[in-house]
A and B are shown apart, each in its own frame.
Chain A
Amino acid sequence: MTAFNDFLRAVRAPLGAITLTLLLGFLLVMMITDQPVLAYRDLLLANFDSWSNFGLFLNRAMPLALIAIGITFAFRAGVFNVGGEGQLFAGAITTTMLGVALAGLPPVLLFPIVIIGGIAAGAFLGWIPGVLKVKLGVDEVVVTLMLNTIVLLFTSYLVNQVIRDTAAYGAVSQLVPKEIWLPSLPGVPKASSGILAAVVLAVVSWVVLFRTKWGAELRAAGTNLRYAEAIGIAAGRRVIGAMLVAGGCAGLAGALYVLGIGHRFEQNFSPDYGLVALTCALLARIHPIGALFTALFYALMLNGAAYMQISTDVPRSLVDLLTGLLVLLMTARVVISRRKA
C-alpha cells in the first residue's frame, strides 16, 4: 500500500507536466497546420495502429528505459553521468564482436557470454569516471563526455576495419549468429522481448534503491557525502558501485539492441539514446519506475513524430520543441513548489 502511494507520488508530477506540454504543443500545431487533429492523432496514436507499429514503439523504448534506469543509480549516488551513449555503444560493440568471433560456440554458452560481455563493457566505461571522481576528484561530466567521443570513434574504427559486413551497405558489422537472437515478444512479432528486461529491471532497481541497505547507503552518499562518511559508509565504494550499475544497464541496452533488434552493430543505431535517456531519468525525478514510463512516453513521441511528418506538414522536429517545453515545465514546477514551501 505504501509502496503504491510512493509510486503514485513518483508518477504524478511527470504526468501533469506531460499533459500540459501536450496541450501547449497542440496550440503550436494549430498554428502550423490546418489538420492539427490528424497531426496529433498520428503523434500519439499511430503507434497503436498496427502490431507492427506497436512493436517498433516498444523497440524504441527498450534502450531508453534501460539507460534511464541505470542513470537513476548514478544520480542517486550524486554522480552526473552523461556517459550513457558511450556505455551503450561499448555494450553493443562488445556483444557484436564476441558474437561474431565466437560464432562456433553452442548457443547456450554463447548467449550468456555475449550478454555478460556487453554488460561488463558498459560497466567498465562507468567504472572509469567513478574511480576518477572518487580517487582523484575528477569531474565526472567531463570524463563521461570525453569517453562518449572516444568510444564512438573506436566503434567506428572497429565496425569499418575489423568486423565490417562488406556485402551490406553502410557502416554495419557482420551479423551475429541467428541462434542467439532474442525471440520476439509473444504476440507482437516486430517487438523484441528485450523490453521485458527493462520492465523487470525497473522493479528490481526500485527494490534495490529503496528497500536495501546498499540502496540506502548509496542515496546517503549521493545526498550528503560527508554525512555518509561520518556514519561509516564506504561512500566512495557506493559511488563506484552506482556507476558500475549505470554503465552495466546501458551496456545491457546495447547488447539487447544487437541481439533483439539490429542483429549486428550499426554505427548509426542510436538517435542519441544516451542523452534522451538522461532527460527521461530527470523527468521521472530519478525514480526507476517513473523512468520506465517517461522512456515509453519519449519512444511514443519519437516514433509518432515520424508518422506525423509523413501524413501532415508538421516537421518531426516538433518533438524537440515539445521536449524543451516539457523540461521547462518540469523545472518550473520545482520552482513553484519551492516557493510554496
Chain B
Amino acid sequence: MTDPQNILELSGIAKTFGDKVALKSIDLAVRRGEVHVICGENGAGKSTLMNILVGIHKPSGGQIRFNGQQVQISDPIAASRLGIGMVHQHFTLVPSMSVAENLFLGRHPKKFGLFSDRQAMVDRARALIEAYNFGLDPQAAISSLSVGQRQRVEILKALAFDAELLILDEPTAVLTPPEVEELLKIIATLRERGRTVLFITHKLREVKAVSDRVTVIRHGESVSIHNTADVSEADIARDMVGRDVFLVGRKGDVERSFGDAVLKLNGVTRTNAAGRRLLDAVSLEVRAGEVLGIAGVDGNGQTELAEVIAGLSTMQAGNIWFDGADISDMTVAERQALGLGFVPEDRLDRGISKTMSVAENVAATNYERANILRRGFVSSARLAEFAAEKIKEFDVRGAKPKTPIGTLSGGNMQKVVIARELEREPRLLLVSQPTRGLDIGASEFVYDRILASANAGRGVLLISSELSEIFALSDRIAVIYSGRIMAILDRADADEVTVGALMNGAGKEAA
C-alpha cells in the first residue's frame, strides 16, 4: 500500500499497558504537505498514538513507514532525526530560561566545538522567529510570555530541527479565542511551506477551519478517514461517538422559574501582594434553579473568583452569603457542608490526586454519604462498588476502581471530578471550565448534568472562557473583565457581539 504521496503510513499499530489495551489497531496515512486532524473521544488513544510516533512509547504491534522506509522509533531523539517534531499538550519549556536557550536546549551551537556560542544561538533563534513571523524576542524569559506565545516557542522548538512532520496534541485547549485564530493561521503558513501537520483537537470547528483530511479513531481503532471538505461537523461527531450528538444545551422556550438566591456576593474584592485588584467589588447572585454564566477572557479574575467562593483564598473586602447565611469567614469544609460543590478549572492542580486510585478520588468527600464506612473503617468492597457505580454512570473510560487516576485520559479524569462533586447534590454547583479538553460526547454529557442540576432546583455558577458554552447553558450571563463585572445580561438580551465586546473591556467607563 505504499504510496509515494504519503509521508507517514501506519498499519495495525497496537499498544497495551499491562493488561490494558490502549490501541487495538490503527491505520493512518498522512500525505506530504497536508494538515491532517485526528479526532476521537477522550481515551480513544490519540495521545498514545502520537507518543508512539515520537518514540515515547513503543508500539506492541504494527508497522510505521516514514518517507517510504519502515522505521523503528526508539526515542524522541531518533524521532527528531527522522524529522518528526511534537508539541505536547503540557508545555515542556524551562520558565527561567530565554526563548533562544529553550529553542536550543541541549543542542547549543558550539564555539571551538566546546563552548556554547550565545551570539550564534540568539542569531539563529532570531532568524527562525522571523522566518515564521512569530514576533517573539529571542532573549525574553519564558516566564514573561503568555500561554499563546509559549506555544509558539514550543512549535519553533519542534521546527528548529527541520521537522518535516509536526505533531500538535490538543494545542488549542489552553488558548484564548484570539490565540486560537493566530495558531490556525500559523498552521496554514506551515502548510504553505510544505510542512506536514498532524493535529489533535476536540473542537470540530477547528477541524473544518484548517484541515485537509481527518481520521477518526474510536476505542483504539481507526474507524474512518475523510476529506474534510466532504463532511460536516455532525458527520465527524457521529464517527467519533458512534451515534448522533447534539451539543445544544438549553432547549429554548421551556418556561423556567427561579427561587431565592442561593449564593450572593456583595462587593467582593481581592488584591494581590502588589496591591493590584484581581477582583474589584464583584457583586452577583445565583438563584435556585438558575445557571449564571461568567464570560470572560482567561486571566481576568475567574480563577480568583472561584477560589474566593470555594473558600480557598481570602478577600480583602465584601461578603458572601449562602442561603442567606454569611459564609465569608467559613472554611472550605464548612461551605461544602452547607452544600457547595466545586469543580476546579485545572483538574491536575486541584481536582484530583494523580497517584491515588479512581475509587479514592471519587469517594474523597463522599465516605459517609455513600455508606463506604463500616464501623468507622473503610470497607474496600463498598469503596470499589461505589467507584464502579460512578464509573458506569459517568461512563469513565479505561478505568477500574483501583486504577491510578493519573493514567486516565484527561477527559475521563474530569468525569471523575464531576461525579464526585455531584454525588453530594450540592445546593450550589460552582464549575470552572467544565469541558476543557473533553470530547464532544463527554461535553454533551456534562452539559446535561449541569442543566439537570439547575432543573432540580439547584443553583449553578458556570465559569467558562468558551463563549459557546456560556450561551448554551446560561440563564443569565455576567461578563468579567479585569476583575470587574462589566454587566449582567439576561440570556435573551445577550448576543455574542455584545458579550464579546464587554469581554474586551468595552464600556469600561460606563460600568
The interface of chain A, by Cβ under 8 A from chain B, is: 2-3, 207, 210-213, 216, 219-220, 223-224, 226-234, 341
Contact = CB atoms under 8 A, between A and B. Distances in A.
Interface in B353-375: 353-356, 360, 363-365, 367, 373
Contacts of A213: 367, 373, 378
B365 A211 contact: no
Interface of A is mostly: helix
B199 interface: no
Contacts of B363: 216
Contacts of B351: 227, 230
Q: Which of B331, B333, B350, B363 has the most A CB atoms < 10 Å from its CB?
A: B350
B353 A220 contact: yes
Interface of B: 17, 310, 312, 331-333, 335-337, 342, 344, 349-356, 360, 363-365, 367, 373, 376-378, 380, 420
Contacts of A229: 312, 332, 350
Given A219-B353, A224-B353, 14 more contacts: A2-B380, A211-B377, A211-B378, A219-B356, A219-B360, A220-B353, A220-B364, A223-B355, A224-B352, A224-B354, A226-B349, A229-B332, A230-B310, A231-B332
26 contacts: A211-B378, A212-B376, A212-B378, A213-B367, A213-B378, A216-B360, A216-B363, A219-B360, A223-B353, A223-B355, A223-B356, A226-B349, A227-B349, A227-B350, A227-B351, A227-B352, A229-B350, A230-B310, A230-B332, A230-B342, A230-B351, A231-B364, A231-B365, A232-B337, A233-B364, A234-B333
A169 to B, nearest CB: 51
A209 B367 CA distance: 15
**What 5 pairs between A and B have smallest CB-CB spacing?**
A232-B333, A230-B350, A224-B353, A223-B353, A232-B332
A212 B363 CA distance: 12
A341 B17 contact: yes
Contacts, number: 67
Nearest to A221: B353
B287 to A, nearest CB: 25
A229 B313 CA distance: 11
Contacts of A219: 353, 356, 360
Given A212-B378, A232-B332, A234-B333, A226 B360 contact: no
B380 A211 contact: yes
B388 to A, nearest CB: 14
B377 A230 contact: no
B342 A216 contact: no
A207 B335 CA distance: 30
A227 B365 contact: no
B337 to A, nearest CB: 8
A210 B355 CA distance: 14
